[in-house]
Chain A
Amino acid sequence: MTEQTLGELVAAIAARKVSALEATEACLERIGRLNGRLRAFITVDAEGARARARALDADLAAGRRRGPLHGVPLAYKDLCHVPGLPTSCGTRTPEYFVGGIECTAVARLTAAGAVTLGKLNMTELALGPFGDNPHHGDVDNPWKAGHVSGGSSSGSGAAVAGGLAFGALGSDTGGSIRLPAACCGIVGLKPTYGRVSRAGAMALSWSLDHLGPMTRSVRDAALMLEIIAGHDPHDATSSPHAVGTPSATLEAPIRGLRLGLPENYYFDGVTPEARAAVEAAARTLASLGARVERLRLPDPAPLIDVAGTLARSESSTIHARIVRDRPHELGAAVRARLEIGFHISAHDYLQAGRLRARLTRAFIDEVFGQVDALLTPTIPEPAPALAAATAPPVDAIVRRMNRFSRLTRPFNALGLPVLAVPAGFTADGRPLGLSIAGRPFDEATVLRLGHAWEQASDWRARRPPV
């Protein structure tokens, strides 16, 4: 049962072929059997999930369907505040994130009928792309033991790939949804900035944070997006722009869509197999009628500097207290990255914000005047061995972090929607990743393209050996 997609489970529950409790028990059985190896969950709320599932089954028996996710077991990155459960944010402190309101995205999924299985492991304070965590254990890659699961939404990636949950929420400040999606061979959507409320989720950088779905199919991502998107009075940055129903247009032809393959930056230093996977996807999409062209993008280097200035300034402001009071609790690389922000001037921080506006406007005008979407690799190489990625000294770790996330970070500065989808596997079984970036608020097009690629390829039939 846990090999089904979220959409397939919704249909099975609605048709009374399976109950919410049976689906929940199937997930809990896999969590019990596999979490010792994957370390995907920090908190498992087994009794809460069972009680909720029983109530949902009773509702359905009485003819009441709570919503489009009635009975679907989901799990949430441990920076989403879920009433009654601790929120460690990957730190040593179980109740690190307190005093907030219920995470709006979680509340909307719950209102739609989802069952909460628990809270998912993550990189400490969401600061890192490898999925290591000194307090809750390193999240392992379901496809290849001892390898990077991707971060910071590492538990979300491993739980969904491993069949421990039918879908998850992640957050993305520099690639933290897309990197674990790519490393774990699943789908991850970083929506447009403002598309999904961030209320009730720990902030790392107000300017760059995004919440989004992590799932086993593109359709599942579309279904979750439709539920969590939309204006929220608790998040001043949330947009009133209507999301519509992207799941309803997934099957629309992609003929005539213009796709761009960047000539600069996005293939520099990328391994041959990661490059070949994206080019193969581009050929497949072209065979379906899309027009693929190579184009030179505005230099992403300024975006990296702008995002770095904003992220370092804001993260050190938000998390100043733990740096001041309990610095010994933080991992060395996390502490080093937070400390930079204390030394950035207000002048440079504000200039970075102004530059971001100009760079974004110029990028949208120039690029989306030529194409409807961009195709890039998500990760520059398949998931490396975790021990190699996290080997000291600290400045070497930080350099490796920056290199591994160099393809995702520009899109956080730009705020554009990006869908990460699997793009095949290396000879030794590690997933490769394709990213599809679109114009602002056009998640429907990137999801349509991702669905077309998914249907034309056979990657979804493969399962990790766990």
Chain B
Amino acid sequence: MTDFLGRGTLGGVPSSPPDRQIQADVAALAGAIERMAGDLALAEEPSSFAVALEAGARRD
């Protein structure tokens, strides 16, 4: 995205290049997510989390 002056923005925040520590943190998270997500079922969606909680409740 660019703003009206042609500057890069991310979510409305000027996207000056992130410092090395932020780059490293983002890359570490992205790498971990990528490794884990390779075999996700097509049917899996974020809202399945709430379903998992309800299904996991004790049935007395």
Q: Does A361 contact B (CB under 8 A)?
A: yes
Q: Does A43 contact B (CB under 8 A)?
A: no
3 tightest A-B contacts by CB?
Answer: A353-B46, A357-B48, A364-B56
- Classify chain A's interface size: 35 or more
Closest A residue, CB atoms, query B48? A357
A342: contacting residue among B15, B32, B55, CB under 8 A: B15
Interface segment, one of A182-190, A212-220, A344-352, A376-384: A344-352
- Classify chain B's interface size: 35 or more
Q: Known: A239-B54, A351-B40, A439-B58. Is A357-B46 also a contact (CB below 8 A)?
A: yes
Q: Known: A302-B32, A357-B45. Is A241-B40 also a contact (CB below 8 A)?
A: no
Specify which chain A residues have a CB less than 8 angstroms from the CB of B47 in the assembled complex: 357
In the bound complex, CA of A356 to CA of B13 (Å): 28
Specify which chain A residues have a CB less than 8 angstroms from the CB of B12 in the assembled complex: 320-321, 324
Contact B52 A342 (CB under 8 A): no
A256 to chain B, nearest CB (A): 14
Residues of A participating in the B interface, judged by any CB pair closer than 8 Å? 192-194, 207, 237, 239, 241, 302, 305-306, 308-309, 312, 316-317, 320-321, 323-324, 336, 339-340, 342-345, 348, 350-358, 360-361, 364-365, 368, 395, 415, 439-442, 445
Specify which chain A residues have a CB less than 8 angstroms from the CB of B34 in the assembled complex: 348, 351
Q: Known: A302-B32, A355-B37. Is A320-B53 also a contact (CB below 8 A)?
A: no
Produce 1/0 per residue, B19-60, CB < 8 A to A.
001110110111011101100110011111111111111100
Interface residues of A, dominant DSSP = helix
Q: Does B6 contact A (CB under 8 A)?
A: no
Q: Known: A305-B29, A439-B58, A440-B57. Is A343-B10 also a contact (CB below 8 A)?
A: yes
In the bound complex, CA of A348 to CA of B30 (Å): 6
In the bound complex, CA of A69 to CA of B9 (Å): 50
Contact A441 B57 (CB under 8 A): yes
B19 to chain A, nearest CB (A): 8
Apart from A321-B12, A357-B48, 11 more pairs, CB < 8 Å: A194-B50, A309-B33, A336-B22, A343-B10, A343-B22, A345-B30, A357-B44, A357-B51, A358-B48, A439-B58, A440-B53
